[in-house]
Amino acid sequence: MVTDTLPTRQARVIAVSRDDTHRFSKPTVDSVTLIEGWGIEGDAHAGPTVKHRFQVARDPHAPNLRQVHLLHEEVFAEVAEEGYSLAPGLLGENITTRDVTLLDLPTGTVLRLGPDAAVRLTGLRSPCRLIDTLERGLMRQLTARAGDGTVVRKAGVMSVVVAGGVVRAGDGISIELPEGPHVPMQPV
């Protein structure tokens, strides 16, 4: 049950990406089909159990909390100030958003994408050293230290599909905050 819905008149999907093979970057496509409890149809990371190679090695039967990766477009401008060039799909995200403060949302937030689809946020994506294969030093741009010394991860958020549907660039996004105390997202 949802206790609060945030107004997001301008929040939009700006690109969608998928890849049926485990590669770091994903090509953008016209649309993706989200399947409840599964992920994105035709994507290598879809399924009820973990698909990320590192996690499969640890426990191949663990639930897949990383069915759909979302990344905020605003990070592209942030890293561009330091001389790096990013575009949708390059960091392996499935859905690139605009005007959604993804990193500030609590665990359990539901994002409604377009007319039918919805995902529930499970945690932060932890940037890995493969990011530097795109551009040397990029990983350092996607992590920072807060004033208290904690690591700030800027490589997007992970989610599970709670309602299926087709998602396209230009689709609106609405945000439904979870009931009860809001718990900050941790890496998954």
Q: What CATH number has the domain bearing residue 14?
A: 2.40.33.20
Segments in 29-111 forming alpha helices (H): 53-58, 74-80
The verdict on residue 185 lying in a domain is no
As given in the structure block, the two tokens for residue 82 are 């330091």
Range(s) of the domain holding residue 86: 2-178
Q: Residue 184 domain-assigned?
A: no
Top-confidence residue, 7 or 58:
58
Query: Which pLDDT score is estimated for 9?
Result: 55
Tens-place pLDDT, residues 16-34: 999 999 999 999 999 999 9
Residue 186 lies in a domain: no
List strand residue ranges (DSSP E) for 27-186, in order: 28-29, 31-35, 39-40, 68-72, 95-98, 110-113, 117-124, 143-145, 151-153, 157-163, 165-168, 173-178
Number of folded domains that form the chain: 1
More confident residue, 10 or 95: 95
Q: What is the pLDDT of residues 151-187, one digit of tens each?
A: 999 999 999 999 999 999 999 999 999 999 999 999 9
Share of the chain above pLDDT 70, in %: 95
